[in-house]
Structure 1
């Protein structure tokens, strides 16, 4: 099959955590992983504390790197099949209440306009791919960990974070013929500045302090997403056919468990747009 000519179409790239959903997707699974025998109670409490701190005050690059190192070390030796099973059994319960209605409507609008939609997330493929499938997006860029003999080694195969997101977007654009100058990107975090700068139409969503300042300086639109909606009912997964399709996708998804490092700071008073 001959690939499309470069720049023949556009795409819309969405960060996941705090852009499509209202919190960290990976840390949200702390309790299910505990009940599945993967996490200790102390690790659950630490993950919950980290999630709280990201929500109320944000974290700088060094803090995020320390948390990444801690969590990748923690998952070393985890059984891949157990992780897959825990995610498949708890995905709807964990993620359904977290999805922003505004994000789903934007995804639908871009698809109606003929654009591919791509989720670009530092979270692991085992979380991002099922969410992407349920949302009906075209492609997913996510973090993966190395596995050997059915267990995670604790090493990172690809870290979809910071400038690595932009690099992966550029690679995908070359493969599929996206015109990045005509494309869109959405994120909440200063660490995703390279992702936003890679496209012609960047948008800040519920931005942290630094991204808000950057958006104001560059005249990037600022969007406010504040209406979480049950994903299952929003996209028809409460029907028998929808449930069957979702479970088939989740059951076939293999991936790795990694931390999502999306910063969040208190909002300042720059003008915002509600959808």
Structure 2
């Protein structure tokens, strides 16, 4: 047994499942990278503007299910032909610039609290794995569940292997719970979106975050706890010097880590992935 294995609680039966966008970070993780993808020549100015508009709708809570589905289809068409290594490199190089300043202090405190109690932390997001996995690593999460794009010959085909949205999130959580031995009745979940009602419904301790009126009504009807996060701050400002060194090392390792994940995903279709 390694030292890290000796320190970590063996097989915890409780996990905390966190949605990412507007729950942990005060932005859309996918749209946040539209500028560096544009600078890297992956998207056109028109596509960058569409991404900005989608981000605007998202932040207003104005993107309904039909609009979200259209954005998914546009994303699928947009990434077709993108080199995976280039995407991985851009995300790794710009992660702190475009994500770090938007982490909710309250979310990070909750993550740290769950870890102190010996709970696993799992990030669950409809954004792509190439974006979600590095963010999960940066936050010190144990696992992540995210959308996976099909890869062939080192490039995205435009097809989606797994779309981590709605009921699919709940199914992936149940699958991971069975694999890791989580008792879902003891588990926690946090999300800002009414589309994540299925995800919240499968755990014993569901929480809404910054819920809009319709979502809060659903939460009230179900007796779910509603939280308000107000303080997006730089992640590094909240870390101790030792934690900052760990985060710096994590960023250096992202290229290798995500590369290994991609090679693993090529070998077969799996829903939950290590974060």
The TM-score by the shorter chain falls in which range? 0.7 to 0.9
Q: Which residue in the other structure is 1:61 paired with? A: 65
Task: Could you list the structure 1 runs, at least 4 aligned residues long, displaced by more than 4 angstroms after superposition.
Answer: 236-241
Whether contact under 8 Å (1:187, 1:203) holds in the other structure is: yes
Whether contact under 8 Å (2:25, 2:232) holds in the other structure is: yes
Q: Which residue in the other structure is 1:160 paired with? A: 164
Q: Which residue in the other structure is 1:249 paired with? A: 254
Determine helix, strand or coil for the equivalent of 2:63.
coil
Structure 1 residue 144 displacement after superposition:
0.7
Distance in 1 separating the partners of 2:31 and 2:202: 28
Whether contact under 8 Å (1:145, 1:158) holds in the other structure is: yes
Instruction: Tell me, yes or no, if structure 1 residue 48 matches structure 2 residue 52.
Output: yes
Q: Which residue in the other structure is 1:104 paired with? A: 108
Whether contact under 8 Å (2:31, 2:52) holds in the other structure is: yes
Determine helix, strand or coil for the equivalent of 2:258.
coil
Of 70, 73, 87, which aligns to 1:83? 87
Of 114, 119, 137, which aligns to 2:118? 114
TM-score by length of 2: 0.87
Q: How does 1:202-217 map to 2 (within 5 A)?
A: 202-217=206-221
Whether contact under 8 Å (2:17, 2:121) holds in the other structure is: yes
Q: Which residue in the other structure is 1:273 paired with? A: none
Name whichever structure is richer in helix by fraction. 2
Structure 1 residue 234 displacement after superposition:
2.2
Structure 1 residue 245 displacement after superposition:
3.1
Q: Which residue in the other structure is 1:191 paired with? A: 195
Of 12, 35, 39, which aligns to 2:16? 12
Determine helix, strand or coil for the equivalent of 1:215.
helix
Q: Which has the higher contact order (CA 8 A, sep 6+)?
A: 1
Q: How many residue pairs align between the two structures? A: 250
Structure 1 residue 236 displacement after superposition:
4.6
RMSD between aligned residues: 1.7
Q: Which consecutive unaligned segments of at least 5 residues does structure 2 have?
A: 1-10, 263-275
Instruction: Tell me, yes or no, if structure 1 residue 172 matches structure 2 residue 139.
Output: no
Structure 1 residue 26 displacement after superposition:
0.3
Whether contact under 8 Å (2:133, 2:258) holds in the other structure is: yes
Report the more deviating stretch, 242-251 or 69-78: 242-251
Whether contact under 8 Å (1:186, 1:204) holds in the other structure is: yes
